[in-house]
Structure 1
Amino acid sequence: MDYIEYIDRKSGEICKETVPGEKWLKWLYHNPLGKLALHGAIKRKFVSQWYGNKMDSPASKDKIPGFIKDLNIDMNEAIRPMEDYGSFNDFFIRELKAEARPIDNTSATIVSPAEGKILAFEGIQGLDSFFVKGQQFSLNKFLQNSMLSKQYEEGTLLIIRLAPVDYHRFHFPADGTISASSPINGDYFSVSPYAVKNMLRVYWENKREYSILKTAKAGNILLCEVGATMVGSIIQSYTPDSEVKKGQEKGCFKFGGSTVIMLLEKGKAQIDADIIKNTQNGFETSIKIGETIATVCD
């Protein structure tokens, strides 16, 4: 893979993604020496934890202006100006103005819980349209819970990949009652397509935590936040076993790329046609918080 292409949802055009550390990622995942470094150190918790702590230091705020410029980040969307952040991580988990991300509050819709690039598979198997052929998504390994695996084994899988440029808070896709979060320890592989195209197991080998959103119309939606290389931590800001609203904040990721995975029960919702079509053609689709991604089945 020479570069990452995706479909811009608004225009329908194929775009090339700007990837910070692109050469480094290619070396780690496709060069024999890089793979030695990856498995010997980079995937380990201490490396990501060390870098996460570094991004919490006051000195790290010097990186903010260059990051904004290089990735063309629109600071008019942020609640606080660039000068108001005390560290890079403080900026990285910046809050956005409500009007910058309007929520589709139609009762029959499910909205994106995260911002980035989305893939959707109606049926847990059959991921060959995007990933290297022959790989299967192992629900048992991913959830480490046989009862839950059975519940979603014929359901819909959505993968939302957050790159460093993206807004790094995640939200609820529908109204409902949210369970406590169940953490699963793991490694810290990258979630970039450079890594996961031929290594789907990243999703069940990386650190992650999941919770269940019980809804009135869309069944039980499983939400799982997956950590990745240089992600300092996954922070849950919601109250377990509480009533939540569509678009309400659930938590955030500190520095690094990361992923939110959603599982829908079979027959509960219909994924938007453009997302399905793009996935089948081997492309991720750009997505914003609050945009509709599915409609509840009658």
Structure 2
Amino acid sequence: MANIVPQPHHFRRIGGWLPQDPKTLLDWVKKLVTEVDHKKKHGFLSWPKEIQHLNNLIEGTSELRMLASAMFDEVPNKPPYDKDPTGNKQIRSYKHMLDVFAHIMENVTPKWTNNPQGQDLIGFPFNAILDWLMATPSGYAFFLKREVNASLKAILDKWKIDVLQTDKSLHVITTDDDGWLSKAALKKIEDDTNITGTKLTFAQLFECDPDKAHWGFRSWDDFFTRTFRNFDTIRPIAYPKDPKWIVSSCESKPWALQTDVKAYDSFWLKGQPYGVAEMMDHHEESSKFVGGTVYQAFLSATSYHRWHSPVTGKVVFSKVIDGTYFSEPTINGFTNPDGPDPAAPDKAQGYITHVATRAMYLIDTESPIGLVCGIYVGMADVSSCEILEKFQVKKGGKAVEVKKGEEIGMFHHGGSTHCLVFEKGLKLKWIKEAYPDVSKTNLAIRSELAYAEV
């Protein structure tokens, strides 16, 4: 079977992390830059140590300073690229970019926005600033640098710990028109969640208390990692005692299904074929998956963002693999004859499974399904992957039993994409909706996904 992937015209901010209406993002960035420039002018803007570290890193070598400067120069000086994706070239240099980063990491929480055309979400504030820069040759090189990504990780972690996971972020968890509990926001979440025939309200779907301030949520991150109420009723486990059935590991929409995958492939080119050795960080067991199958699906901004085991077995290994945060392949950049991805890295779902920060699990089913690899990939601002303590199994450590449908980890600051990888020789019969572009909605987590024909 050849790669089965959506066609380019299906892409336009597929996960809902950035607004469909470019004017919304334009207005947001203009306001953000105005605030930053005002603070800078009046001496109110300071750089946290994480921003200063990135600046020192850039200016510590001629290579990084050249790349960081050149990526601004390489954005074509012609419409529409003489303006950033928001319609106005607001970010003027890497120094100015760091000023904006400093402001975001101390003051900005992903915000819900309503407009006459419908909902628009500013879920990726860092990504919104970097969109065209990622598409340049120098940006491609810059955002692949290990030391740059280590510095970006420190910035994003600080933002998460100091803002997103504290009551400082609660100003967006309200019933106001621009709040995450507004009628429009709740309707969007309810519509995206009632995919099994139910017509439940947000309060019926998720653990919360509408009678409490902020409905009982302690932070924006607490809201985003919310849990289902009456989970076993709302999201029952399909065929819990039949080991031949594999269930959906995330509340997500199918992206690609590829068989006969290679150990190494040109994942940075058109089609983004999978190379399991690099996806699995060169783990010694990756050879078992050469010639096997990869299923990939992505999570939207309004999805449930926790991961559940697709099978019953034993977790024999797990690891968070450090990787990139704002990298897209050159095929989706300015070298593409059709132009760059207007919402990078939306089009790079396959690519980022090889290079981005991700959590990896190996589950031995001790059944005909064999060894299963689950890979949960962060994307852009959304790259904080948490493996539950129970399932943190180092190489050579004691295996931990896991049941089909059991929670194993989660994304913080939303979610991104995930892959399930199966061994060579395993014959799988997929449900129709598992094929890309068939289902118009997410597949429910813990619902049937594929059957092992053995």
TM-score, length basis structure 2:
0.54
> Amino acid of the residue matched to residue 234 of structure 2?
A
Indicate the larger mover: 112-121 or 73-82: 73-82
For residue 73 of structure 1, the aligned residue among 186, 189, 195 is 189
- How far apart in 1 are the matches of 2:180 and 2:327? 19
For residue 20 of structure 1, the aligned residue among 11, 17, 20 is 17
Q: Indicate the SS of the match to 1:81.
A: coil
Q: Indicate the SS of the match to 1:213.
A: strand
| 1:212 equivalenced with 2:362 (yes/no) | yes
* Residue pair 1:49, 1:232 contacting (<8 A) in 2 also: no
Structural mapping, 1:98-247, within 5 Å:
98=231, 99-106=233-240, 107=242, 108-118=244-254, 119-124=256-261, 133=270, 135-145=272-282, 147-189=284-326, 194-197=344-347, 200-215=350-365, 216-231=367-382, 233-237=384-388, 238-239=390-391, 240=393, 241-247=399-405
Shift of 1:212: 0.8
Q: Indicate the SS of the match to 2:278.
A: helix
Shift of 1:95: 1.0
* Residue pair 2:357, 2:383 contacting (<8 A) in 1 also: no
Partner residue, 2:453: 297
Q: Which runs of 5+ in 1 are unaligned?
A: 6-15, 126-130
| 1:61 equivalenced with 2:198 (yes/no) | no
1:94-128 per-residue CA deviation (whole Å, 9 max, x = no partner) reads: 11121111110250310011111123223326xxx
* Residue pair 1:105, 1:246 contacting (<8 A) in 2 also: no
How has the CA–CA distance of structure 1 residues 49 and 31 changed in structure 2, closer, same or farther, with 3 Å as cutoff? closer
Q: Which runs of 5+ in 2 are unaligned?
A: 1-7, 26-83, 87-126, 191-201, 263-267, 329-340, 394-398
> Amino acid of the residue matched to residue 447 of structure 2?
E
How has the CA–CA distance of structure 1 residues 93 and 146 changed in structure 2, closer, same or farther, with 3 Å as cutoff? closer
How has the CA–CA distance of structure 1 residues 149 and 200 changed in structure 2, closer, same or farther, with 3 Å as cutoff? same
| 1:268 equivalenced with 2:426 (yes/no) | yes
1:201-244 per-residue CA deviation (whole Å, 9 max, x = no partner) reads: 32211111212111123110001121222236211123342111
Bigger strand fraction: 1
How has the CA–CA distance of structure 1 residues 20 and 190 changed in structure 2, closer, same or farther, with 3 Å as cutoff? farther
Larger Rg, first or second structure (1 or 2): 2
Indicate the larger mover: 148-157 or 73-82: 73-82
Partner residue, 1:8: none
Q: Indicate the SS of the match to 2:258.
A: strand
- How far apart in 2 are the matches of 1:167 and 1:177? 24
Shift of 1:167: 0.3
* Residue pair 2:377, 2:383 contacting (<8 A) in 1 also: no
* Residue pair 1:164, 1:255 contacting (<8 A) in 2 also: no
- How far apart in 2 are the matches of 1:2 and 1:56? 36
Partner residue, 1:12: none
- How far apart in 2 are the matches of 1:271 and 1:47? 43
Matched pairs, number = 281
Paired-residue identity, %:
23
* Residue pair 2:320, 2:387 contacting (<8 A) in 1 also: no
Q: Which has the higher contact order (CA 8 A, sep 6+)?
A: 1
